[in-house]
Amino acid sequence: MAAVAVLRAFGARGPMCLSRGPWAQLSARFCSRDPAGAGRRESEPRPTSARQLDGIRNIVLSNPKKRNALSLAMLKSLQSDILHDADSNDLKVIIISAEGPVFSSGHDLKELTEEQGRDYHAEVFQTCSKVMMLIRNHPVPVIAMVNGLATAAGCQLVASCDIAVASDKSSFATPGVNIGLFCSTPGVALARAVPRKVALEMLFTGEPISAQQALLHGLLSKVVPEAELQEETMRIARKIASLSRPVVSLGKATFYRQLPQDLGTAYYLTSRAMVDNLALRDGQEGITAFLQKRKPIWSHEPA
């Protein structure tokens, strides 16, 4: 029942590349045979690392020597970590963070030279776009934990996450115009996170904004001192992990589906989603628990 409700919220479209579950058939076009290994040599370490505990998956961009550039290898490794067991009820929330003083400097410019060729360039930008859409369409919330500089596609990654928490030392920019490569794809996510004139000033000038400015304009959810960043991010993640995955998943899908609609269509879609939510086991459990003045016992019903 939960899977049907969430699929309806996605409009029967959910680009999840999974080995099992209701998302598998919907996501074949987003999958490569070896998304984690493509674009890097076997002797090279994976540019991301991931671990999961108590429903919280921590994915870390782990190439600080290259400023965590979103190379093709990094993008495919990130894609693999995001998609791994995405339909498992043990997964409740994802945190994306980075090693070093730079969250991500954006695309690896060495991959964008004339020598690489147009087809390779197309693969880089198409893969990046897929990763950003996977975050949006993933059944669990994705949180960016930012401690440092996020530029170009790195800023795009932050803007694409559902929640973004940053330290007060962080900054954000789309500086491609300064080197002759306008940040058109980062602009997609940026324009959906901040007001148009703010996005265009960032895109036209390439100048950075501070964490406080990013918070003011809606790029971030919260700004905290660096010493409190992990604690605050984990507090939010633990709260989400304590809730019903089917309910949160349905809610996320519904929120994004109604967002671009006109007011009447939005209310129509969300009214249907509320009815679907009530049909979920956890929907009734939560109401019953509230009326009985007890804590709800959430099910392991797949989302």
**SS3 letters for 75-117?**
HHHHHHHHHCCCCCCCCCEEEEEECCCEEECCCCHHHHCHHHC
In the chain, DSSP finds a helix count (H) and a strand count (E) of 11, 10
Q: What is the pLDDT of residue 41?
A: 55
Q: CB of 6 within 8 A of CB of 86? A: no
Amino acid at 262: D
DSSP-assigned states of every residue in 121-182? HHHHHHHHHHHHHHHHH-SS-EEEEE-SEEETHHHHHHHHSSEEEEETT-EEE-GGGGGT--
Q: How far apart are CA 213 and CA 29, in angstroms?
A: 38
Q: What is the pLDDT of residue 5?
A: 53
Q: How far apart are CA 144 and CA 38, in angstroms?
A: 24
Burial 246-268, CB ≥16 within 10 A → b, else e: bbbbbbbbbeebbeeeeeeeeee
**Residues in the chain, how many?**
303
Reported as type and span, the H/E element at residue 194 is none
In order of start, what are the domains of the chain with their CATH numbers? 48-241 (3.90.226.10), 244-292 (1.10.12)
- Mean pLDDT of residues grouped by 10 in the chain (303 residues)? 49 39 40 45 81 97 97 97 95 98 97 95 98 98 98 98 98 98 98 98 98 98 98 98 97 97 98 97 96 93 54
Q: How far apart are CA 260 and CA 265, in angstroms?
A: 10
Is residue 192 exposed (0-12), middle (13-18) or buried (19+ Cβ within 10 Å)?
Answer: middle
Q: CB of 199 within 8 A of CB of 190? A: yes
Q: What is the pLDDT of residue 42?
A: 56
**Which phi and psi (to 5°) does residue 13 adopt?**
-135, 115
Output the pTM of the full model.
0.87
Q: What tokens were used for 69?
A: 């550039």
